[in-house]
Structures are given as structure tokens and as C-alpha cells.
Amino acid sequence: MTEINFNELIFITDWARALDQLLQDAKQAIQNNDFEERQLIQETLADFKKQSPPECAALDKIADRAIDDLFISITSDALTAIMARLGELKDATKLISGVTAANSDAAKDLQFKNVISALDKAKAATNTLRQLEMSMTNPDNSLLQKINALLTAIEGFSASIA
């Protein structure tokens, strides 16, 4: 990423050239799929907005939208990764279905053990999260309600399959 010394920017045209360079760097970072570089550019764009003079309000709006665009590109990467996980899940499901067809009773027993184990782990993690939130000086009551609702759902599901 190009280093920009904001103290050397005097005229609006200087600020516009600096923003242009940041946008070019952002484009390159997205094309290179460089997560760290995108975050660094977002931070630099935020600094640009803080340090630019009031006459650069239009440029600040462009910088704001670029920050959002970079966030969307990061989110897009996360979405791509999640889609890959869904593909892995589909493959795993096919494998489980094959095992079930070959030995239905044994597979069901194994699946329930895994489901019960996963539910126990989810319940333990949720309990730990609730304890952590409650130990805070100012716990978030909305978050605590959601945690309690999650625990109730897990316990209800566990009871229905036991």
C-alpha cells in the first residue's frame, strides 16, 4: 500500500490524488484477495476522513463508501468460505447416508451419539458464555435473554431425542 503523509496534503487536488491512490490500492487488495491489506486500507481511509479539511466533504463521502465496499468484499470472502463448508457438509451427508444404507441401525446409533455429544458441547459452551456475560460489570440483558433462549432450545431438542 502506498504510504500517504496527510501533513503534506495542502490543496483539495492533493487530497483527491491521495484518495485516488487509496482506491487504487483497495482495488488491488481486493483483486489479490489480501485480507490484511484491505483492513489496513480501511483504517487509512478512516484516517483520511479524520484529517481531511471540511472542504473535502465530497471526498470523505467517497472514502466512506470505499470503507463499506471493502467491508463487503471481506464479507463476500466469508460467504465464499461458508459456501465451501456447505459443500463439505453435503459430501459428509452423502457419506453418512451411505453408511446408513449399509447398516441402518448402527449408523442411527452413531448419529444420535454424535448429535447428543454435539448438543452437550453446545450447551456447555452456551453456559460458559452465559457465565462470562453475567460476570461482567454491566452484563448485556438482551444477550443474556438470547443465551437463555438458546439453552432452552438446546435442552428441549435434547429431551425430544433422548
87 to each of 66, 75, 94, 115, how far by Cα in Å? 31, 18, 11, 20
The pLDDT tens digits along the chain (162 residues) read 889 999 999 999 999 999 999 999 999 998 898 889 999 999 999 999 999 999 999 999 999 999 988 888 777 776 666 676 667 777 766 776 665 566 566 556 656 677 777 777 877 877 777 787 778 788 788 877 887 787 788 788 777 766
pTM: 0.52
| The three grid cell numbers given for residue 76, joined into one nine-digit string | 463476500
Instruction: Decide if 122 contacts 157 (C-beta within 8 A).
Output: no
Domain layout of the chain by residue ranges? 6-77, 104-162
